[in-house]
């Protein structure tokens, strides 16, 4: 029997998502020890999780027991952290899982989502898996949302969901209030992905609007803020009517007990989190200053923990490879609009120094 015969037709022809290479793999290829690699390619937090997380994991009592399907204790802590009631909060295995669940809930084959590239790749990826169409309204030259274009596309194509990211990945741009208002006035459900919102300001999230708004979903994560990308823990706030249905389709044991314990421990050390965010924000501004001093780089302003740069009159992929040879990993996207760009996470000061040293000599 031919393997492909039994596979869903749309999956067989789908584009794979290209995740970054695991850094052990890159390290081996470069002949370096993993410790000698500076990893600035996945917007991770260079400070890692707060110290309480280690204790929580070392003392994990219930690794052998199934997790609470309702993540009750974590959702209560999240309610205190975000100020929205736990009844409209759902925890997931990363924001990634909540993106997928949201699409599964709203989309039937043939339905569409509206996507505003360049942006995070998972929206288009998940839509393809759900058999949905992707209506693309590219961002403007400055990578802002094209609001007129979105309004026109919504009227013509009737997508059910609009995905917007603030701060946006890969540029770190912020969605201003008036833009959000215009989106919320449309006959769509707005999924606002705030994976990086804490780096724009600890109190700038729009999550507080969700209970007052019947077409806004806000997704957040511990991956960036709390240095827990590996543990896979994110959360979302959903209109109450949507929550009811999400409970039906969520896998009962989606969030591991380790992820829940780590997230709780992180929330207990808000001061530590805020200090690290402040360090990263200060370092971001220093990095942008140093990059803009280089003749061939034009960094974008960023509200996130990364900086996107246009590479002027030189080859962006070559730049990425040159840094890689020095053990520094940054992100290059082989995608429309981005082929002359690179993105670097904001690391510790010594990471910035190492990066800029290589860049200065290139």
Partner 1 sequence: MSRPSVTSHPYLDELEPYEPPDLRAAAARSGLEPVDLLRLSANENQFGPSPRVAQALADSGEHAFYPNYAPLREAIARYAGVAVERVVLTNGADEAIDLLIRLFAEPGQIVVTCPPTSGMYEFCAKVNRCRVLPVPRQPDFSLDVPAVEQAVHEHAGDVRLLFIASPGNPHGLSVPLRELEWLLDLRIIVAVDEAYIEFGGESAVSLLDDYQNLVVIRTFSKWAGLAGLRLGYALLAPPYASLVERIRAPYNVNSAAVAAGLATLDDLDTVRANVRRLVDERERIRSALARLEWLEPLPSEGNFVLCRVRGGAGSEVAEALALRGILVQAFLGPRMGAYFRFAVGRPEQNDAVLQALATLGPEKEGTEA
Ligand X SMILES: Cc1ncc(COP(=O)(O)O)c(C=O)c1O
Instruction: By CB under 8 A, tell whether 48 contacts partner 1.
Output: yes
Binding residues for ligand X, rule: CB under 6 A, are: 43, 94-96, 120, 165, 169, 193, 195, 221, 223, 229, 234
Q: Which is nearer to ligand X, 120 or 333 (CB)?
A: 120
- Measured at the alpha carbon of residue 98, what is the angle toward residues 213 and 100, in degrees to the nearest 5? 115
Residue 149 contact partner, candidates ligand X, partner 1, none, CB within 5 to 8 A by sort of partner = none
- Return the C-alpha torsion angle 223, 207, 162, 309, nearest 10: -50
Residue 227 binds to partner 1 (criterion: CB under 8 A): yes
The binder of partner 1 chosen from 210, 228, 277, 307 (CB under 8 A): 228
Residue placing its CB nearer to partner 1 in the complex, 139 or 220: 220
Q: Which residues contact 53 (CB under 8 A, 6 or more apart)?
A: 226, 228, 262, 265, 266
* SS3 track for 233-292: CEEEECCHHHHHHHHHHCCCCCCCHHHHHHHHHHHCCHHHHHHHHHHHHHHHHHHHHHHH
Of residues 168 and 352, the one with the C-beta less far from ligand X: 168
- Smaller CB distance to ligand X: residue 71 or 359? 71
Q: How far is the CB of 58 from ligand X (least distance, A)?
A: 23
CB of 291 to partner 1, least distance (A): 24
Mind giving me the DSSP string for 151-213?
HHHHHHH--SEEEEESSPTTT-----HHHHHHHHTSSSEEEEE-TTGGGT-TT--SGGGGGG-
Residues 195-214 that bind partner 1 (CB under 8 A): 214
Asked if 220 and 207 count as a contact pair (C-beta separation under 8 A), the reply is yes
Q: Is 83 left (phi over 0), alpha (psi -120 to 50) or beta?
A: left
Residue 100 binds: one of ligand X, partner 1, none (C-beta under 5 to 8 A by kind): partner 1
344 forms part of the interface with partner 1 (CB under 8 A): no
Q: By CB under 8 A, name the one of 38, 40, 44, 319 that touches partner 1.
A: 44
- 256 touches partner 1 (CB under 8 A): yes
The only residue of 54, 80, 339, 357 in contact with partner 1, by rule CB under 8 A: 54
Residue 29 engages partner 1 in binding (rule: CB under 8 A): no
């Amino acid at each position: 029997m031919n393997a492909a015969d039994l596979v869903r037709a749309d999956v067989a022809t789908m584009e794979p998502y290209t995740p970054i290479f695991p850094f052990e793999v890159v390290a081996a290829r470069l002949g370096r020890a993993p410790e000698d690699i500076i990893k600035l390619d996945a917007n991770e937090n260079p400070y890692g999780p707060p110290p309480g997380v280690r204790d929580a994991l070392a003392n994990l009592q219930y690794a052998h027991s199934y997790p609470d399907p309702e993540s009750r204790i974590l959702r209560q802590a999240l309610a205190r952290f975000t100020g929205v009631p736990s009844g409209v909060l759902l925890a997931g295995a990363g924001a990634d899982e909540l993106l997928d669940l949201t699409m599964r809930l709203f989309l039937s084959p043939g339905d569409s989502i509206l996507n505003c590239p360049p942006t995070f790749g998972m929206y288009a990826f998940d839509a393809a898996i759900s058999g949905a169409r992707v209506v693309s309204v590219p961002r403007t030259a400055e990578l802002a949302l094209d609001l007129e274009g979105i309004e026109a596309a919504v009227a013509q194509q009737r997508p059910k969901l609009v995905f917007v990211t603030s701060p946006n990945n890969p540029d770190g741009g912020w969605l201003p209030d008036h833009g959000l208002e215009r989106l919320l006035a449309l006959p769509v459900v707005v999924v606002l992905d705030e994976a990086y919102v804490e780096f724009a300001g600890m109190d700038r999230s729009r999550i507080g609007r969700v209970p007052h708004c019947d077409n806004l979903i806000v997704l957040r994560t511990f991956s960036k803020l709390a240095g827990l990308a590996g543990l896979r823990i994110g959360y979302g706030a959903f209109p109450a009517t949507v929550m009811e249905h999400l409970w039906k389709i969520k896998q009962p044991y989606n969030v591991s007990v380790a992820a829940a314990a780590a997230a709780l421990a992180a929330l207990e050390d808000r001061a530590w989190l805020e200090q690290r965010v402040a360090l990263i924000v200060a370092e971001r501004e220093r990095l942008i200053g140093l990059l803009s001093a280089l003749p061939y780089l034009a960094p974008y302003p960023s509200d996130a923990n990364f900086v996107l740069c246009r590479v002027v009159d030189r080859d962006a992929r070559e730049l990425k490879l040159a840094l890689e040879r020095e053990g520094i990993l940054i992100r290059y996207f082989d995608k429309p609009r981005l082929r002359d760009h690179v993105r670097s996470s904001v690391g510790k000061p010594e990471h910035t120094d190492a990066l800029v040293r290589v860049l200065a000599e290139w």
